[in-house]
């Protein structure tokens, strides 16, 4: 049996379709493709596939950036650009707050939990950075509103025992640093 991945490269085709839907100012097609991307990120979490997750998590900030560029050159893109910005922040929040948290909370598999959080926050950071870079204060404030709803604590990352170990003073400074970053 071959180890050939039949989905290899499909993310490039999906991105090309998203690019075309935005270039054509086609909200209906964009929504369908957004749904596909969201389903792929959800399934990658459920199957503990960090590689696939990392391929798609930046689509959200990228489609915001593309739609912003189109809107700046042509005001008729306002509605699609607003949709892209709002959906990017909303979906990133939901991926972090609900999908990663809920999957790992109900799963005995610990897998790549911290890495999923890392890449999810990195994707959200990229969106916020793009908005700041574009001087897009309105959408930045809306995205910050979504971001502020993410309420995670150390226990959500499985760090409670490591933090307790640090508080107990049983380890040296070097041991403590290694404990946190293992």
Tens-place pLDDT, residues 80-133:
999 999 999 999 999 998 888 777 776 656 668 889 999 999 999 999 999 999
DSSP sequence for 66-107: HHHHHHHH-GGGHHHHHHHHHHHHHHHHHIIIIIIHHHHHT-
Please indicate, yes or no, whether residues 179 and 89 belong to a single structural domain of this protein. Answer: no
Q: Which domain holds residue 163?
A: 156-182
What length is written for the chain?
Answer: 182
Domains in the chain, number? 2
Please indicate, yes or no, whether residues 25 and 70 belong to a single structural domain of this protein. Answer: yes
Please indicate, yes or no, whether residues 80 and 53 belong to a single structural domain of this protein. Answer: yes
Please indicate, yes or no, whether residues 104 and 168 belong to a single structural domain of this protein. Answer: no
Tens-place pLDDT, residues 86-98:
999 999 999 998 8
Query: 73 lies in a domain?
Result: yes
């Amino acid at each position: 049996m071959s180890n050939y991945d039949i989905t290899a490269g499909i993310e490039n085709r999906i991105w090309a379709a998203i690019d075309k839907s935005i270039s054509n100012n086609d909200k209906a097609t964009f929504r369908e493709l957004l749904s596909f991307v969201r389903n792929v990120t959800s399934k990658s979490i459920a199957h503990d596939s960090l590689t696939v997750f990392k391929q798609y998590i930046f689509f959200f900030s990228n489609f915001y950036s593309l739609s912003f560029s189109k809107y700046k050159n042509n005001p008729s893109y306002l509605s699609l650009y607003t949709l892209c910005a709002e959906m990017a922040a909303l979906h990133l929040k939901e991926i972090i707050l609900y999908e990663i948290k809920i999957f790992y909370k109900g799963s005995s598999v610990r897998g790549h939990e911290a890495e999923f959080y890392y890449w999810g926050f990195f994707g959200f950071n990229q969106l916020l950075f793009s908005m700041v870079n574009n001087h897009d204060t309105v959408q930045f404030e809306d995205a910050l509103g979504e971001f502020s709803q993410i309420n995670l604590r150390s226990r959500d990352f499985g760090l409670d025992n490591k933090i307790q170990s640090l508080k107990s003073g049983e380890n040296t400074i070097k041991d403590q640093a290694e404990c946190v970053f293992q």
